[in-house]
Amino acid sequence: MILRIPRRHLVALIAAVPIAFSAPPVKAQDSKTLTVGIVSDPVTLDPALMASFFEISVQYNLHEPLVHVTPDLKIESGLASVETPDPLTYRFTLKPKLTFHDGTPIDAAAVKANFDRMLDPATASPRRSELSPIDQVEVTGALTFTIKLKMAYAPLLQVLSNRAGMMVSPAALKSLGPDFATKAVGAGPYRLVSWTKNSELVLERFPGYWRGPAAIERIVFRPIADETVRLTNLRSGTVQLVDAVPAQAVGQLGREAGITLKQASGLGFNAFSLNTTKPPFNDVRVRQAFTTAIDKQAILRAVYFGTGSVAQGAIPPSMAWVHDAAFAPYKPGADTARKLLADAGVTTPVSVTITVTNSPAQVRTAEVLQAQANQAGFKVEIKQIDATSLITVLRQKDFDLCMSPWSGRTDPDGNIYNYFTKTGPNNFMGYQSDKVTDLLEKARSAPAQADRAKLYREAEAQIAIDAPMLFLTFPATLQASVKSLTWLQYPDGAFRLQFASFQ
């Protein structure tokens, strides 16, 4: 059964967003304001609690990490510079005279308060796992602090270039309490003006930003779930930048004179979590059967129109030092899948519900999965949910098979550790493997890159055997803007609009 958006809801959605179906591309009327069409609202504005794919469009504009990653994945200073005298010691020096958006100082005491909060179990922060190798954060001066590790942790600086390194105002945390999630006070290039959920999120440039005030004064994020509506708004100039360009539109957009289309190899993956805690996927043979039933190349063609590449695990080709291009653990085939189901002794067809968000690409993916699995002994239904509900569904394990897209990190640890260790915060599958947990723990602390690569490949091989996740594709990062906007594209798909300007 396919659940579709009721026509009256779609009409209301289109009516609520100004569009011009026949208008040619036009230059933005107000070069002081950039309106960005995004797939979905964030779930929270608190970087310590961010766990959704849909926060990436906003996060780097409102918040500033301790260190930055460049588009080619190199580390450079952000709020702080860093020295590493030995593998267990990281000495940071904050830039002087910086403040948070509320005017309170960014000093070593504020940084320590941020780390203490993220590491406190009571906060229930997904960052706690990312920061678990930290032994202590020591304030050594007004603007200096040292992070001491329990063990060598190769991904630390990459981790601190993302959400775990985004510092927020301790004073605002105290005064706002639970409201901080919707009124966050950070140190990024833009500060929050207002957030009307499912309508618009408005930011204005922060004069005290350490790089200097951004070129564009005001950023307005508008959630536009429908990809056709999103592109129509771009072509009319109603929005000037969009994320998640649908793959089928790439050819046409690339030929339009008024549009700049950018695409890059991504860091993340498109995948589906299999709920290993209940039937039918508590049986590894049923998981293997479903995985075997799926022809990933067909999905790459039908849904992604040849952009990106097929995924066999969590580590994409962009991480060339560890990615194994020859790794192909499953040969798709309906007959093999049926045999696995017979060996499992289950009654066929095996009923399975696939949960996806109501975006056309995800629904198309689910329909291809449905058709292929139904030929191999399954009976698949499709359940559509709102994008902002996805993280709740995953955390509550309220699914059989649920989409689990990941924007990716600059180190393989960020793509695999939180998903496949026994207590990982993104282990939505309920996957329990002592072997994989041990391999991933060792990979975090191995001193040599070659040793890390070997450990990750061994872990990926075991994960493939256990089949807790159905990997489908490594998507290309596809984004577009009006021609008059200059901006940098990052492989993780996150916008850093301090580098954007209108010409």
The Cα 425–Cα 399 span in angstroms is 17
Question: CB–CB of 34/240 below 8 Å?
Answer: yes
Q: Where are the alpha helices (DSSP H) in 294-389?
A: 296-302, 334-344, 360-374
Beta partners for 166? 65
Report the pLDDT value the prediction gives residue 77, as an integer from 0 to 100. Answer: 96
- Phi/psi at 432 (5° precision): -125, 105
> How far is it, in rounded angstroms, from Cα 42 to Cα 108?
29
In this predicted structure, what is the pLDDT of residue 35? 98
Q: What is the structure's pLDDT at 52?
A: 83
DSSP E strands: which ranges in 232-329?
241-242, 259-265, 270-274, 309-310
Question: What element of type H or E holds 287?
Answer: helix 284-293
At CA 64, angle to CA 132 and CA 407, rounded to 5? Answer: 65
Angle between the 334-344 and 284-293 helix axes, to the nearest 10 degrees?
A: 170
The pLDDT assigned to 398 comes to 97
Determine the residue type at 98.
L
Per-residue H/E/C for 27-86: CCCCCCEEEEEECCCCCCCCCCCCCCHHHHHHHHHHCCECEEECCCCCEEECCEEEEEEE
Q: How far apart are CA 496 and CA 22, in angstroms?
A: 31
**Cis before 349 (ω within 30):** yes
Q: What is the pLDDT along the chain (503 residues), one digit of tens a residue?
A: 333 333 333 333 333 333 333 333 444 346 799 999 999 999 999 999 998 878 989 999 999 999 999 988 889 999 999 999 999 999 999 999 999 999 999 999 999 999 999 999 999 999 998 999 999 999 999 999 999 999 999 999 999 999 999 999 999 999 999 999 999 999 999 999 999 999 999 999 999 999 999 999 999 999 999 999 999 999 999 999 999 899 999 999 999 999 999 998 889 999 999 999 999 999 999 999 999 999 999 999 999 998 999 999 999 998 889 999 999 999 999 999 999 999 999 999 999 999 999 988 899 999 999 999 999 999 999 999 998 899 999 999 999 999 999 888 889 999 999 999 999 989 999 999 999 999 999 999 887 899 999 999 999 999 999 999 999 999 999 999 999 999 999 988 899 999 999 99
Helix (H, G, I), strand (E, B) or coil at 146: strand
pLDDT of residue 447: 79
Angle at 254 (CA atoms; ends 249, 257), nearest 5 degrees: 120
188: nearest Cα among 496, 502, 501, 500? 496
Give the pLDDT of residue 491: 87
Supply the pLDDT for residue 300: 95
